[in-house]
């Protein structure tokens, strides 16, 4: 570095050939670094319209009255543990979402066929929410339902029990 550069700060060039200055003062250097990082994020990772659409759908489709069910089990998490024990690949994915009064158990096959159950068993309307809209399904008396073909992309479920004393439940958005 030249003596002139030390007094005024340093200049640097990135891989793309852009030149930027690094000031000597710690506060100014920090601001310059944060500014440079912000410009890289905008240049290298612009937000797509699909991502914004999914975020807005998540806000619009969730009612303030719904209880958020937590994902308490996902067989994809256990997949690495069982890989050393099982020779064949997993053919389905199992998930359990739990709320205070309801549990939603789901199993998705490799062909994207979904079988689910509301626990404790009861009649309810389960809404499959996805980018293209909402698909409602009624459960039978045992709380069971199925979806022949899941849409591509992120999905969320909302369960509205027929008993008005039981609060509706919504899951977070997941990719199946």
The Cα-based distances of 113 to 108, 135, 174 in angstroms read 6, 14, 16
Domain of residue 26 covers 3-44
Q: Are 11 and 77 found together in one domain?
A: no
Q: Are 9 and 93 found together in one domain?
A: no
Q: Are 75 and 149 found together in one domain?
A: yes
pLDDT at 115: 97
Q: Are 31 and 54 found together in one domain?
A: no
| Number of domains composing the chain | 2
Q: Are 72 and 137 found together in one domain?
A: yes
pLDDT tens digits, 55-87: 555 444 456 678 999 999 998 887 766 666 655
The Cα-based distances of 70 to 13, 55, 170, 176 in angstroms read 47, 19, 9, 16
Q: Are 115 and 153 found together in one domain?
A: yes
What percent of the chain clears pLDDT 90, i.e. is strictly above it?
Answer: 49
- Asked whether the beta carbons of 133 and 151 are under 8 A apart, the reply is no
Q: Are 72 and 139 found together in one domain?
A: yes
Q: Are 108 and 160 found together in one domain?
A: yes
Question: Which tokens is 20 given?
Answer: 């930027």
Query: Model confidence at 1, in pLDDT bands (50, 70, 90)?
Result: very low
Q: Are 146 and 86 found together in one domain?
A: yes
- Asked whether the beta carbons of 143 and 120 are under 8 A apart, the reply is yes
pLDDT at 90: 64
pLDDT at 171: 95
pTM of the model: 0.62
Written as one string, the DSSP assignment of 87-124 is SSPP-EEEEEEE-SS-EEEEEEETT--EEEEEES---E
**DSSP state letter for 54:** H
pLDDT tens digits, 132-147: 999 999 999 999 999 9
52 against 175, higher pLDDT: 175
Rounded Cα distance between 71 and 172, Å, is 8
Q: Are 39 and 108 found together in one domain?
A: no
pLDDT at 66: 87
Q: In 3D, which of 156, 167, 157 has the Cα closest to residue 102?
A: 167
Q: Are 11 and 87 found together in one domain?
A: no
91 against 2, higher pLDDT: 91
- Asked whether the beta carbons of 116 and 144 are under 8 A apart, the reply is yes
Q: Are 85 and 156 found together in one domain?
A: yes
């Amino acid at each position: 570095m030249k003596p002139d550069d030390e007094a005024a700060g340093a200049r640097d060039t990135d891989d793309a050939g852009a030149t930027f200055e690094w000031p000597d003062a710690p506060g100014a250097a920090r601001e310059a670094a944060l500014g440079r990082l912000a410009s890289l994020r905008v240049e290298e990772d612009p937000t797509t319209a699909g991502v914004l659409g999914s975020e807005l759908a998540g806000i619009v489709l969730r009612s303030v009255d719904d209880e958020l069910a937590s994902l308490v089990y996902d067989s994809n998490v256990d997949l690495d543990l069982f890989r050393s024990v099982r020779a064949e690949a997993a053919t389905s994915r199992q998930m359990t979402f739990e709320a205070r009064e309801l549990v939603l158990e789901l199993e998705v096959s490799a062909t994207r066929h979904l079988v689910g159950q509301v626990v404790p068993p009861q009649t309810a309307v389960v809404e499959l929410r996805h980018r293209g809209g909402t698909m409602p399904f009624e459960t039978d008396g045992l709380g069971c339902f199925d979806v022949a073909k899941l849409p591509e992309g992120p999905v969320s479920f909302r369960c509205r029990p027929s008993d008005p004393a039981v609060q509706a439940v919504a899951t977070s958005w997941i990719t199946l």
